[in-house]
């Protein structure tokens, strides 16, 4: 069955959901996006995702031609049109078609796209046994060059690191910032456990402030686990008791080796296991 896609003001079959070859989203990666999950027909933290979309757009002087309410409606309409209760939603806003050349003022009609699809999860084995990750040589974009807080259509920085991970046989890769500090993974935030406390890099380490990251920090707080943002280096990860990643697609996933070194006991630890369980309950509540 063809998927149904929302384009600007209506739902269309996927083969009619098209953007111009002159769209600056295609030509220059000039645009923004969000990835959301729906659980049992309820979109997890919709407002936080819409706020972040607007923040990303504002940062690149892109005016989204629809209201947040209209996009929220488009999200539920697109999920319903595809008969999805549990699904993945991709929001995309492009700069629109224009003349060749970077100048955004010579574009018009930003395109608003909402795609809903089934979610392709990591195999359940990764959640039970944990992931192996490696550190990529590709640094996270310097925030003075381009803020990693903008979820832009230009993800080449992360894709370069993802390729390094895949070439090393790993599905995720760790990215450091220009100071050699731990930033995040290519599409996930990172946490470690040290002396029973949860530590995660602060926003100024050059990360995307993940919505799952925020939810997990709240869950830890509720569970009486101390959680702190702290500048971390690889030494902290190598010597951690536990490590896990968070992201909309992956949710909470344990990490058991980094650069071939075993983390903690080599299997998912008790705090990670607890937070996986709490997150599962939260998204279905
Ligand atoms: N860091 C980066 C760089 C991301 O792109 C996260 C962290 C986690 O954020 P959330 O808000 O999802 O907890 C992300 C977002 C995908 C996909 O389709 C996932 C992301 C980005 C692009 C694609 O799997 N993760």
Q: Are residues 251 and 273 in the same domain?
A: yes
Select from 93, 117, 141 the last residue of a domain. Answer: 117
Place 72 in a pLDDT band, splitting at 50, 70 and 90: very high
Alpha carbon distance 211, 59 (integer Å):
18
What is the span of the domain harbouring residue 240? 124-283
The whole-number average pLDDT for the span 280-284 is 96
The number of distinct structural domains making up the chain is 2
The whole-number average pLDDT for the span 94-123 is 95
Assess contact for 102 and 232: CB atoms under 8 A.
Answer: no
pLDDT over 90 (residue 96): yes
Select from 90, 117, 144 the last residue of a domain. Answer: 117
Q: From the CA of 211, how far away is ligand 1's center (Å)?
A: 9
- Indicate the top mutation candidate among 208, 246, 252 to test ligand 1's pocket, ranked by most ligand atoms within 8 A of CB: 208
Alpha carbon distance 98, 85 (integer Å):
37
Q: Are residues 278 and 142 in the same domain?
A: yes
Alpha carbon distance 67, 75 (integer Å):
12
Alpha carbon distance 201, 175 (integer Å):
12
Q: Are residues 129 and 226 in the same domain?
A: yes
Q: Are residues 154 and 240 in the same domain?
A: yes
Assess contact for 152 and 29: CB atoms under 8 A.
Answer: yes
pLDDT over 90 (residue 249): yes
pLDDT over 90 (residue 212): yes
The angle formed by the CA atoms of residues 65, 48 and 209, to the nearest 5 degrees, is: 110
Place 168 in a pLDDT band, splitting at 50, 70 and 90: very high
Alpha carbon distance 247, 189 (integer Å):
6
pLDDT digits (tens, 9 = 90+) for 225-236: 999 999 999 999
The whole-number average pLDDT for the span 168-194 is 98
pLDDT in the model for residue 94: 98
The whole-number average pLDDT for the span 255-271 is 98
Q: Are residues 88 and 196 in the same domain?
A: no
Q: In Å, what is the CA distance from 106 to each residue of 35, 60, 96, 97?
A: 28, 15, 10, 9
Atom of ligand 1 nearest to the CA of 148: 3
Select from 85, 117, 149 the last residue of a domain. Answer: 117
Residue 70 has phi, psi (to 5 degrees) of: -65, -40
Q: Are residues 178 and 215 in the same domain?
A: yes
The whole-number average pLDDT for the span 5-17 is 98
pLDDT in the model for residue 1: 84
The whole-number average pLDDT for the span 3-26 is 98
Q: Are residues 83 and 41 in the same domain?
A: yes
Report the chain's mean pLDDT, rounded to a whole number.
97
Catalytic sites, residue numbers: 151
pLDDT in the model for residue 120: 80
The whole-number average pLDDT for the span 52-63 is 98
Q: Which two tokens stand for residue 112?
A: 């608003």
The whole-number average pLDDT for the span 15-26 is 98
pLDDT over 90 (residue 105): yes
- Indicate the top mutation candidate among 186, 188, 252 to test ligand 1's pocket, ranked by most ligand atoms within 8 A of CB: 188
The whole-number average pLDDT for the span 35-53 is 97
Q: From the CA of 260, how far away is ligand 1's center (Å)?
A: 24
Q: Are residues 26 and 156 in the same domain?
A: no
The whole-number average pLDDT for the span 279-283 is 97
pLDDT in the model for residue 121: 81
pLDDT in the model for residue 26: 98
Q: Are residues 94 and 154 in the same domain?
A: no
Q: Are residues 58 and 151 in the same domain?
A: no
pLDDT cut 90: percent of the chain above it: 98
- Show the ligand 1 pocket: residues with CB < 6 angstroms: 35, 158, 184, 187-189, 208, 210-213, 246-249
pLDDT over 90 (residue 66): yes
């Amino acid at each position: 069955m063809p998927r149904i896609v929302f384009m600007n003001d209506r739902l269309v079959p996927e083969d009619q959901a098209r953007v111009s070859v002159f769209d600056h989203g295609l030509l220059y990666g000039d645009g923004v996006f969000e990835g959301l999950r729906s659980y049992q027909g309820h979109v997890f933290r919709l407002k936080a995702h819409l706020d972040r979309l607007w923040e990303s757009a504002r940062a690149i002087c892109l005016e989204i031609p629809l209201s947040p309410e209209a996009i929220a409606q488009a999200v539920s309409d697109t999920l319903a049109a595809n008969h999805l209760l549990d699904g993945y939603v991709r929001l995309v806003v492009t700069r629109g078609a224009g003349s060749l050349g970077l100048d955004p003022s010579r574009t018009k009609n930003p395109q608003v796209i909402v795609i809903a699809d089934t979610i392709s999860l990591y195999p359940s084995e990764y959640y039970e046994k944990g992931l192996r990750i490696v550190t990529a040589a590709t640094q996270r974009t310097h925030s003075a060059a381009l803020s990693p807080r903008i979820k832009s259509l230009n993800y080449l920085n992360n894709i370069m690191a993802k390729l390094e991970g895949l070439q090393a046989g790993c599905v995720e890769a760790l990215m450091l910032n220009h100071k050699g500090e731990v930033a995040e993974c290519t599409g996930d935030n990172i946490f470690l456990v040290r002396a029973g406390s949860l530590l995660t890099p602060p926003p100024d380490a050059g990360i995307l402030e993940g919505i799952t990251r925020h939810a997990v920090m709240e869950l830890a707080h509720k569970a009486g686990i101390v959680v702190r943002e702290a500048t971390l280096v690889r030494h902290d990860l190598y010597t951690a008791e536990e490590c896990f990643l968070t992201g909309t697609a992956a949710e909470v996933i344990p990490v058991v080796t980094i650069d071939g070194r075993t983390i903690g006991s080599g299997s998912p630890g008790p705090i990670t296991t607890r937070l996986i369980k709490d997150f599962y309950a939260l998204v279905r509540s």
